[in-house]
Amino acid sequence: MNSTSPLRFIDTSARGITDTMGRPLRDLRVSVTDRCNFRCVYCMPKEVFGRDHPFLEREQLLTFEEIERLARLFQALGVKKIRVTGGEPLLRRNLERLIARLASIPDLDLTLTTNGALLAQQAAALKAAGLRRITVSLDSVDNAVFQAMNDVGFPVEVVLEGIEAAAAAGLKPVKINMVVKRGVNDASILPIARHFRGTAHIVRFIEYMDVGQTNGWRLDDVVPAVEVLKRIHTEMPLEPVEADYRGEVAQRWRYQDGEGEIGVITSVTQAFCCDCTRARLSAEGKLYTCLFAADGHDLRALLRGGASDAEISEAVGRIWRGRGDRYSEIRSAETVGLDKIEMSYIGG
C-alpha cells in the first residue's frame, strides 16, 4: 500500500470571498441544538454534561426562518454545502420543516450528521423534505464497546437499523464516521470495516481530536490514520482514490477488489487547515470560523436587531476575510490551555 495521501488543493477562482490565507467560504455547518441523547466520552462526557448542565433554552435557539435567512445569505457569499448538525439534530422538533426550507435553496448540497438513535423513525420524512445525504456517527459495531462509548447504554442494533432505513429511503451512500481512540475502540477498526464492506456505505475513520475542554485528550490516545490504513490493508488491500472535490476533508481509499471505499480524516497527524473552507453556526446563532475556536460572532443579535440582509452579509464577509485560523497546523505547546468551544455546541 502506498501511504502517500492524495494532493490537497483549493479553488479560489470561483465566486465568493476568501480569508487571509486565500481559503474560500464553501461549507456551512449549522447546529440546530446543543442537546444530545448520548454522552460519548470524547464529546459530551457525563461528568460534565450531567442532569444539571445548563443547555440552551428554546427562545435562545435560532428559528427555522432565521436559519433559512442566514443560509441564503451565506450561499450568496459562496457557500455550496450546508451540513445540519447538533448536538443531536434529530432531537430538534419538526426538523423536517427546516430541511424543506433549506432544500428549497437552489444549487445547494444539503446533508446532515446524526448519531442514528432516531434515524429509523425519521429517515423517510427527512428524504421527503429534501435531504440528499446523511452521515451517521458510529464508533463500533460491537455492542459492548458501543454502549461504553455512548455511555447511556444505547444498543448498536438500533443505529444499524437507522442506517439501513436511511439507505432504503434513498439517503445514500450513507457515510459512517468512527472516531478512533486507542485502548477504547481501536479493536473495532477491522470489525466495522468488514461489516460495511460491500454495502456501498462508506466508513470514515477519524483521528481522536482535542476538541473543547472536557474530553481529556492526550496525543497518546490518537491512532494515526496511517496505522488504521495498515491494519485494514493487511486483510483487505486498499488503493488511494483521488479527491472527490477540492478541499475534501477525508482522504479516500478503495478496496482493490472493488468492494467499496473508506476514508480517513487526519486532522492531528496530517493537518489540512490550508484547505479548510468551513464555517460553523451554533444553535444560538454564533458564527465560528474554526472547530477549535474560542469565540464566536453573534449573528442572532443582527437578525433580531433589525439588520438588513446587506448588513448581515457585510458582517459575515468581514469576519471571513479576517480569518487566519490554523489550529491543527500549529497544535503544540503554544495551544495548550486555550479555552476552546465544545464540539457538541457547534457540531463536528
Contact between 27 and 10 (Cβ < 8 Å):
no
Residues 296-306: tens digit of each pLDDT:
999 999 999 99
Measure the CA–CA gap between 41 and 55, rounded to whole angstroms.
18
| Burial (CB count <10 Å: 0-12, 13-18, 19+), residue 125 | middle
Q: For residues 219 and 248, what is the distance between their CA atoms, to the nearest angstrom?
A: 24
Long-range contacts of 182-188 (CB under 8 A, 24+ apart): 182/208, 182/220, 182/221, 182/222, 182/223, 183/221, 184/41, 184/145, 184/148, 184/149, 184/221, 185/139, 185/140, 185/145, 185/149, 186/223, 187/145, 188/139, 188/140, 188/141, 188/142, 188/145
**Alpha helices (H) along 173-246:** 189-196, 225-235
Q: Name the CATH topology of 27-346.
A: TIM Barrel (3.20.20)
Q: Mean pLDDT throughout 139-158?
A: 96
Share of the chain above pLDDT 70, in %: 88
Burial label, 240 (beta-carbon count in 10 A; 0-12, 13-18, 19+): middle
Grid coordinates representing 239 are 488503493
Nearest to 303 by CA among 73, 80, 55: 73
Main-chain phi, psi angles of 157, to 5 degrees: -60, -35
Rounded average pLDDT over 139-144: 97
Using CA atoms in the order 5, 83, 278, 188, what is the torsion angle rounded to 10 degrees? Answer: -40
Q: What number is the average pLDDT over the span 177-190? A: 95
Average model confidence (pLDDT) across the chain: 89
pLDDT at 218: 75
pLDDT band at 269 (very low <50, low <70, confident <90, very high): confident
Identify the band that residue 64 occupies on the pLDDT scale cut at 50, 70 and 90: very high
- What is the predicted pLDDT for the residue at 272? 72
What integer is the mean pLDDT of 171-197? 96
Does residue 52 carry a pLDDT above 90?
no
Instruction: Give the model's confidence band at 237: pLDDT under 50 very low, under 70 low, under 90 confident, else very high.
Output: very high
Please report which confidence band the pLDDT of residue 232 belongs to, taking 50, 70 and 90 as the band edges. Answer: very high
The confidence score (pLDDT) of residue 340 equals 57
Q: Record the pTM.
A: 0.90
Q: What is the mean pLDDT of residues 77-101?
A: 97
pLDDT of 329 higher than 80? no
CA atoms within 13 A on the CB side of 32: 27
Q: What is the pLDDT of residue 220?
A: 83
When pLDDT is cut at 50, 70 and 90, the band that residue 249 belongs to is: confident
- Is a pLDDT exceeding 80 seen at residue 238? yes
Q: Is the pLDDT of residue 214 over 60?
A: no
Instruction: Indicate the pLDDT class of residue 130, thresholds 50, 70 and 90.
Output: very high
Higher pLDDT, 218 or 128: 128
Mean pLDDT confidence for 130-158: 96
By DSSP bridging, strand 175-180 and strand 202-207 are parallel
Answer yes or no: is pLDDT of 10 > 50: no
The answer to whether residues 68 and 102 touch, using CB atoms and an 8 Å cutoff, is: yes
Measured between alpha carbons, how far is 56 from 34 in angstroms, rounded to an integer? 7
CB 202: neighbour CB atoms within 10 A?
20
| Average pLDDT value for residue range 98-111 | 97
Q: Is the pLDDT of residue 51 over 90?
A: no
Instruction: Give the residue-averaged pLDDT of 316-337.
Output: 76
Cα dihedral 110, 193, 123, 119, rounded to 10, equals -110
What b/e sequence results for 150-178 when a residue is b if at least 16 CB atoms lie within 10 Å of its CB, and e otherwise? bbeebebeebbbbbebbbebebbbbbbbb
